A and B are shown apart, each in its own frame.
Chain A
Amino acid sequence: MTSASAPGDRDNNDGGDGTAPHRPDTGDQLHKAASEHATDATDAMASRLAANARSDGAHSAPDAGAADTRTPDSTAPRAVPDDEEIFAEAAAGGPMGPVPPQPKRSSGASGPSESEISGSAVRLGDRIFKGLAAGAGGLLLVVMAAIAVFLIWKAWPAIKPGGENVGNLFTTQAWRPQSDPPMFGIAALLFGTVVSSVIAMLVGVPIAIGIALFISHYAPRRVATVLGAIVDLLAAVPSLVFGMWGLYFLVPKTQGFQSWLNQYFGWTYLFGYPDATQASDFGQSLLIAGIVLAVMILPVVSAVCREVFLQTPRETIDAAWALGATKWETIRTAVLPFGRAGMISAAMLGLGRALGETIAVALVLSSGFAISWHLLEPGGDTFASTIALKFGEASSSPLGIPALIAAGLFLFVITLIVNSIARAVIAKKKDFVA
């Protein structure tokens, strides 16, 4: 047994050194030695312990501490060869090549600090692999930090106080970085982004939750599977397509609806459009952009909500039924509270999409850079659509690109805030998540 000297075997000894004192064969004498070893390790003791450890091989697992000291010598070593072969194969066979045996001296020296039982065996392969995995995670953090740094750095000429911009960055409703003197502000962009996203959330999220409930708790199982697949597929449809649908289909088809809204609900101010004289005046308004966004986020939000609703514990639902609840009461008392965190996170996912959506909005809206609470009036801009639409002409002026990057920076900050709030809310409700 002790002649087995594959690199992996020694490797194991190095790691298992701390548990060596528990070897059953020499009994109390060794235990005493172990306590000495723990306080003052000598080379001789280390090598002696290592020799013992070798005879015990991989059995340095946690149960070693519980092992009876009178365990017959014969049983433990018998089981060893297989394990040792695995060890040797494992350590030597990987892409890292054989692990070089470390001198016992160092292992003895490192022993004292380690726990008597666990004796962690950190191999080179493990270290490299963990490094790779952690490095990938770290890369994410670096990318996020780099996004912030680069955007701030390159946007600085546009956002610095006392720059060439004669407009106020936060209140000016214009976007003319190419004019002389340049004048631009994010007020209209912020307004358009927030309003269109809010409309999208108000319209989209309740309907999405309704669809999710329908698929998860109302539809027959067979139908539900098919519908779930369809909704998942729709979630993958590129936003560009939704934008085209909005421009070609929704805008012309809803002119009558918008004109009707104006006629009967114009007094709400929101739906008023006093300048309109005929139905064809209506069209590319913030309201329609919001509805296109709502349709766009529907599949995404309902796909996530459906997953969450399906995970409601059967017992909770059965308990509600058993108490005589109607279907709706079951859903209200069992399914919705359980899914609250999931619903919030789904809604935030949708909000993130809506805030950052570029092409669909750029296609549907007609840009105007003015704040108007008349939601039916054509016009309106968002951060993302402005970046996409103004990029072509931006490089002709010194402040064009920095101004757009500043817009991107604000969009980034807004999504960051929204996401952080969502995280915080979800963390609070976490006890409902299974």
Chain B
Amino acid sequence: MSTNLQTAPKAKPSAMRSQLVGARLPKFAVPLTAIVGIALAIGFKYLLSWSGWSTTVVAAAVLFVIVLTGWSFSVEGRRRAKDRLASTLIYACFVAAVVPLVLILVYIVQRGWPALSANFFSHSMAGVGPDQPGGGIYHALVGTLEQVALAAVIALPVGIFTAIYLVEYGKGAFARAVTFFVDVMTGVPSIVAGLFVYTFLLLGTGARPFGFAGSLALAILMIPVAVRSSEEMLRLVPRDLRDASLALGVPKWRTITKIVLPTAMSGLITSALLAIARVAGETAPLILLVGYADRINFNPFSGDQGTLPMMVWDQLGKRTGNSGEFTDGRAWGAALTLVLLVLLLNVIARLLARLAQPKRG
């Protein structure tokens, strides 16, 4: 295996058509087929008097696939036809899925944007009925930020320490068990986490719903995400750095706190932010644990608290029996704020990740 490939003479691209290359469709085949497909579909639309354009679009796409694959099969053979079919389907997947997904975002912005105003951010819903205009999300913003912050304070240390254990110490049955249960915990539905906290905190003590109970459930949801992503970040730290530190006689825990963690710091911050973003929009546990208050409550340890997801839920619930004119606007406004909050966290996290990648070597 000592052949040096770099010195091998490069084959000159031949301008002549080689006998080895099979017949190909001309370059204009794809656009031509697209035009034919669209034309045929429009023809069908008027011939068969289809109502609506969605059927026509689907028909055009199907015709395009059939014509192109058939043509390719007759000229290029079975393998290339398959290749074209697969490529077309993969492109179609993209167009058929990513475009609507982005459209969802556009739709939220469309519906929510009119509601956003300085008044909307600085007022609570106290005393605002479903048929009245005005009101805002201040109370909900306070609750969401407080609860998510508390959840992060609980979950992130646990998550990062678990990740340290798995990466630096983890061996044997216990580590395998922890890995397994982190995976299982990732799959715990948010409503089950909520029910769990409800059974042991509220049902056990007979307490009324309060903000911190929600934080606990969010923390349970956050821990596995934090473990998974921090673990990946810690594994990115080069082995050499650890070995160099240990070879100098630095104790292992000092190596971890002084070498491994600083090296992975930006990655850890990124994973922390992503974990926070992941739970910030959770609604299900809050229904059980936090309730909803339309006035401002700064204390997460006592009394119902408003949160953004619960405000949306509440406003949507008040839709029935009312015109829905104002509740819909507020619900979409709150939803848009929530999406912006989550996206902001994500963008910051990714910028951080890009700015300071784990140092190598």
Chain A interface residues (CB < 8 Å from chain B): 12, 58, 61, 83, 86-87, 90-91, 94, 121, 123, 125-126, 128-130, 132-141, 143-144, 146-147, 150-151, 153-154, 206-211, 213-215, 218-219, 227, 229-234, 236-242, 244-245, 247-249, 256-257, 295, 298-299, 326-329, 331, 348-349, 352, 355-359, 363, 383-384, 387-388, 391, 401, 404-405, 408, 411-412, 415-416, 418-420, 422-423
Partner of B90, one of A132, A218, A231, A358: A218
B175 touches A218 (CB 8 A): no
Q: Are B196 and A147 in contact (CB under 8 A)?
A: yes
- Residues of A near B274 (CB, < 8 A) are 236
Contact of B191 among A248, A348, A408 (CB under 8 A): A408
The verdict on A299 contacting B249 (CB below 8 Å), with A137-B165, A139-B158, A238-B280 known, is no
B interface bracket (residues with beta carbon within 8 Å of A) = 35 or more
Closest Cβ of chain A: how far from B101's Cβ, in Å?
Answer: 5
> In the complex the two chains form, what is the Cα distance from A229 to B350 in whole Å?
9
Whether B196 lies near A151 (C-beta < 8 A) is yes
B203 at the interface (CB under 8 A from A): yes
Instruction: Please tell me which one of the listed residues B165, B227, B249, B343 contacts residue A87 in the complex, with CB atoms under 8 A apart.
Output: B249
Residue of chain A at shortest CB distance from B310 = A240
Chain B: minimal CB distance from A24 (Å): 19
Q: Report the bound CA distance from A411 to B256 in whole Å.
A: 39
Task: Check B335 against A405 for contact (C-beta < 8 Å).
Answer: no
Residue of A nearest to B157 (CB): A136
Contacts A134-B174, A391-B287; A241 near B104 (Cβ below 8 A): yes
Q: How far is the CA of A383 from the CA of B181 in the complex (A)?
A: 22
A245 touches B251 (CB 8 A): no
30 contacting pairs across A/B (C-beta < 8 A): A90-B254, A130-B253, A133-B168, A136-B165, A143-B185, A146-B196, A147-B193, A151-B196, A210-B89, A210-B90, A210-B92, A210-B93, A210-B94, A211-B93, A211-B97, A231-B98, A236-B277, A236-B281, A240-B313, A244-B335, A298-B101, A356-B191, A357-B189, A405-B195, A411-B189, A412-B189, A415-B188, A416-B184, A416-B187, A419-B187
Would you call B249 and A328 a contact (CB within 8 A)? no
B149 interface hit (Cβ, 8 Å): no
Contact present for B187 and A418 (CB under 8 Å): yes
Q: B266 within 8 Å of A by Cβ?
A: no
Of B26-34, B80-88, B123-131, the stretch lying at the interface with chain A is B80-88
- The interface residues of chain A lying within 8 Å CB-to-CB of B236 are none
Whether B281 lies near A136 (C-beta < 8 A) is: no
Q: B184 touching A147 by the CB < 8 A rule?
A: no
In the complex, number of A-B residue pairs with CB atoms less than 8 Å apart = 283
Residues B223 and A140 in contact, CB atoms below 8 Å apart: yes
CA distance A150 to B11 in the complex (A): 71
Q: Are B283 and A94 in contact (CB under 8 A)?
A: no
A147 touches B192 (CB 8 A): yes
Known contacts A86-B248, A146-B196; is-contact A129 B253 (Cβ 8 Å):
yes
A356 to B79, CA, bound (A): 42
Q: Chain A residues near B332 (CB, 8 Å)?
A: 244
B346 near A232 (CB under 8 angstroms)?
Answer: yes
Q: Does B161 contact A (CB under 8 A)?
A: yes
In the complex formed, the residue of A with least CB distance to B20 is A324
The answer to whether A214 touches B93 (Cβ under 8 A) is yes
B108 lies within 8 A of chain A by Cβ: yes
**Contact status A240-B93, CB under 8 Å:** no
Structural contact, A358 and B191, CB atoms closer than 8 A: yes
B161's contact among A135, A219, A239, A408, by CB below 8 Å, is which? A135
Give the CA-CA distance A416 to B184 in the complex, in Å. 6
CB-nearest residue of chain B relative to A82? B248
Q: Please state if B335 and A241 are interface contacts (CB–CB under 8 Å).
A: yes
In the complex the two chains form, what is the Cα distance from A215 to B343 in whole Å? Answer: 21
Residue among B102, B157, B199 having the largest count of chain A Cβ atoms under 10 Å: B199
A137: contacting residue among B166, B288, B338, CB under 8 A:
B166
Pairwise interchain contact A248-B111, C-beta atoms closer than 8 A: yes
Q: B325 near A: Cβ within 8 Å?
A: no
Contact of B312 with A412 in the complex, beta carbons under 8 Å: no
- A415: which of B178, B189, B338 is its contact (CB, 8 Å)? B189
Nearest-CB distance from B73 to chain A (Å)?
A: 13
Q: Mark B244-285, 1 if CB is under 8 A from A, else 0.
A: 000111111110110000000000000000100110111110
Q: In the bound complex, do residue A154 and residue B203 qualify as a contact, i.e. CB atoms below 8 Å apart?
A: yes
**Residues in chain A near residue B82, CB distance under 8 A:** 326, 328-329
From residue B48, how far is it (CB to closest CB) to chain A in Å?
13
On whether the beta carbons of B98 and A232 are closer than 8 Å, the reply is no
Q: Is B321 an interface residue (CB 8 A)?
A: no
Contact of B251 among A125, A210, A247, A363 (CB under 8 A): A125
A-chain residues with CB within 8 Å of residue B80 when the two chains form the complex:
326
Give the CA-CA distance A128 to B256 in the complex, in Å.
13
- Taking a contact as CB atoms under 8 Å apart, the answer to whether B108 and A241 are in contact is yes
Does the CB pair B91–A218 fall under 8 Å? yes
